[in-house]
Amino acid sequence: MSQADLKSEMLQAMRRLAKSVTIITTSNGQERFAMSATAVDSLSTEPPSLLICVNKTASLHAVLDAGADFCVNILGHEQEELSHLCSGPVKGEARFQRGDWRNSVDGIPYLGDAQSAILCRQDGKFSYGTHTIFIGRIQQIHNSTRISPLVYLDGTYTTTAPAPSLAAVG
């Protein structure tokens, strides 16, 4: 298969990989930055850590590349508008015009009503092709009481339905 065909088939494969939508936030001390992202995953629980994959063209990449800490804000299904805002033409501070944004004691923005806001100290990075993988050592977590994430699947936004309980099925 040619490289072009592989890329096309990979994009088709990724349409089948349901991912919770997050907004990654960071700050350089003067300005806050936010970006929608699904290339986010847990890394380990010992130590508690996760990883994010950020395109080198993204405006917050330079801030993260300089070593800034960050937060992974997992969105709820009602927060699709925030994902559009943080992946569209509006840039920089203007991305914080909507949403219950607060600041951690270290000055990293986090979303007060996210499904979960996971504050991380940056603890490593790895450059690969167009992207950099940043490792976050988890420092603090704000979890909401309900689980109803915004999900990206087949190029569109959706959410998860509660699984039927075994009692209901049987």
Ligand X SMILES: Cc1cc2nc3c(=O)[nH]c(=O)nc-3n(C[C@H](O)[C@H](O)[C@H](O)COP(=O)(O)O)c2cc1C
Q: What is the phi/psi pair of residue 58, to 5°?
A: -70, 145
Residue 155 beta carbon to ligand X: minimum distance, rounded to whole angstroms: 9
Q: Is 139 exposed, middle or buried (0-12, 13-18, 19+ CB in 10 A)?
A: middle
Which listed residue (20, 25, 26, 38) binds ligand X by CB under 6 A?
38
Q: Count H helices, E strands: the chain? A: 4, 12
Mask for 102-141, x = binds ligand X (CB under 6 A):
----------------------------------------
- Contact between 15 and ligand X by CB under 6 A: the answer reads no
Helices (H), 66-121: 80-85
Give the total of residues touching ligand X (CB under 6 A). Answer: 15
d(CA 97, CA 82): 10
Alpha-carbon separation of residue 16 from 9, 10, 12 (angstroms): 11, 10, 7
The alpha carbon of 18 is separated from its chain's Cα centroid by a whole number of angstroms, namely 14
Question: Does residue number 64 form part of the binding site for ligand X (CB under 6 A)?
Answer: no
Residue selected from 20, 25, 26, 37 as contacting ligand X according to rule CB under 6 A: 37
The only residue of 50, 54, 82, 111 in contact with ligand X, by rule CB under 6 A: 54
CB of 167 to ligand X, least distance (A): 35
What residues line the site for ligand X (CB under 6 A)? 21, 35-39, 53-55, 58-59, 83, 87, 91, 152
